[in-house]
Structure 1
Amino acid sequence: MLPLFHAPRSRSTRFLWLLEELGAPYEIRKVDIYRAVSNTGARDPSNPHPHGQVPALLDDGVLITESSAIALYLTDKFPAAGLGPVVGDPKRGPYLSWLAYYAGVLEPAVTNLWKQRQDDQDKAQYQAMDDRLRTTLETSPWLLGDTFSAADILFVSLLQFARQMLPPHEVYDEWLARANARPALARALAKDDA
């Protein structure tokens, strides 16, 4: 059993979804977190995440944190599910690139937009990010072409939480609709605050 430290309606919800997609054995360990937007909650002493955040995953006593790292760890651990290309697969490089792009480009770009602290360089970075993501999805249903992956889960989870953080392109709405129709997501959402 993989313990997932989880706070409802947070970034850890995406890992309920990924674990359901993988068919992995897991248990939910609910923890409280501080939520800056509402100024509610507090650090939970039972949460092993070094910053008191979620997600955090334990596997045989090994702690894995940070969304991109957890996504890679889980898809490597459960390769038969096909949600992350294995070493040697030609799509492995693009998959790793999208995982890193999520953490290194998308998150900072939308955070700066949300906090209204974009200078000209930030605006250019946001536009470049939008161009890359939009043109990718104009030619294929998922980030890796016809293959749904954990990278899609990371990106789509942002749209599920705050659709307005990306421009109103129809291609984003269609991507979100395709992902929202996945049965594993419905199972995950049923467990999110259960």
Structure 2
Amino acid sequence: MPTLYHAPNSRSTSILVLIKEMGIADRIDVVEVTVSRQDGSGGPDPRNPHPEKKVPYLVDGDDCARERGAIVAFLTDMSPESGLGRPVGHPQRGAFLSWLFYYQGVMEPVLVLDWAKIDHRALQATFRDLDVMLNHLADTLDGQPYLLGEGYSAVDLLLSSPFHWLPEAAPTQPLVRAWIKRCADRPILRAITEQERTAARA
């Protein structure tokens, strides 16, 4: 059985939500571990086999997957019947993978650089700037509710996830704001987020 190493209230929460959304919670063993937090709390957990003690980390026998985009592809390929991925041979397979890689290679770096107030022409040339990235989302969402069309998919879960945790980073584009709200209103996401935040306050 694959094992997900997960730390509540972290990037790995989106993978936990995906597992629940896909209806495969009984097929994945979830192990909660501690991680080092930006505020200095927490710390590396010796139970976590990730080389850098980060999360999420998915182990399946001798194989493993790190980085959320890779884990999303791994899980949705494992259970194509969920409808949240786009398996090999699907006419949107390329678009699905492109959004996963866009998140890891463009969107998250741009958001982190903007949050850290780091600006340089070389960074903009490599990753785009915040406005270009957000306008790309808005252009895609013009005329459709989700990034791949009419139906919610794992790419919506992944790409909207930063804005659930950092509402102050919410963009001004109405189409993108409406999409973020649609994704945030998913019952499973709301339930898991509230559960983890309540546990953290206890």
What TM-score does the superposition give when structure 1 sets the normalisation length? Answer: 0.91
Counterpart residue type for residue 91 of structure 1 = Q
Matches within 5 A, 1:11-160: 11-24=11-24, 25=26, 26-35=28-37, 37-122=38-123, 125-126=128-129, 127-160=131-164
Partner residue of 2:173?
Answer: 169
Q: Distance in 2 between matches of 1:89 and 1:32?
A: 38
Cα offset, 1:2, TM superposition? 3.3
Distance 1:120 1:73, change over 3 A: same
Counterpart residue type for residue 135 of structure 1 = D
Counterpart residue type for residue 16 of structure 1 = L
* Contact kept in structure 1, 2:9 and 2:193, CA below 8 Å: no
Counterpart residue type for residue 113 of structure 2 = N
Give the length in aligned residue pairs: 193
Give the root-mean-square deviation of aligned CA atoms: 1.8
- 3-state secondary structure, aligned to 2:142: helix
* Contact kept in structure 1, 2:5 and 2:56, CA below 8 Å: yes
Counterpart residue type for residue 79 of structure 1 = P
Partner residue of 2:192?
Answer: 188
Q: Distance in 1 between matches of 2:7 and 2:51?
A: 15
Overall identity of the aligned pairs, in %: 38
Partner residue of 1:4?
Answer: 4
Q: Distance in 2 between matches of 1:128 and 1:154?
A: 19
Cα offset, 1:61, TM superposition? 4.2
Q: Distance in 2 between matches of 1:53 and 1:152?
A: 23
Listed one character per residue, the Cα deviations across residues 64-121 of structure 1 (whole Å, up to 9, x for unaligned) are: 1110000000000000001111111111110010000000000111111011111245
Cα offset, 1:182, TM superposition? 1.6
Q: Distance in 2 between matches of 1:63 and 1:121?
A: 33
Listed one character per residue, the Cα deviations across residues 140-191 of structure 1 (whole Å, up to 9, x for unaligned) are: 1111011211111111111101133352222222112211222222343365
Q: Distance in 2 between matches of 1:192 and 1:60?
A: 28
Query: Structure 1 unaligned runs (5+)?
Result: none
Q: Distance in 2 between matches of 1:129 and 1:180?
A: 20
- 3-state secondary structure, aligned to 2:14: helix
- 3-state secondary structure, aligned to 2:163: helix
Listed one character per residue, the Cα deviations across residues 30-70 of structure 1 (whole Å, up to 9, x for unaligned) are: 111011x2122111110011111100112234221110000
Counterpart residue type for residue 68 of structure 1 = G
Q: Which moved more, 1:167-176 or 1:151-160?
A: 167-176
* Contact kept in structure 2, 1:130 and 1:166, CA below 8 Å: no
Counterpart residue type for residue 2 of structure 1 = P
What TM-score does the superposition give when structure 2 sets the normalisation length? Answer: 0.88
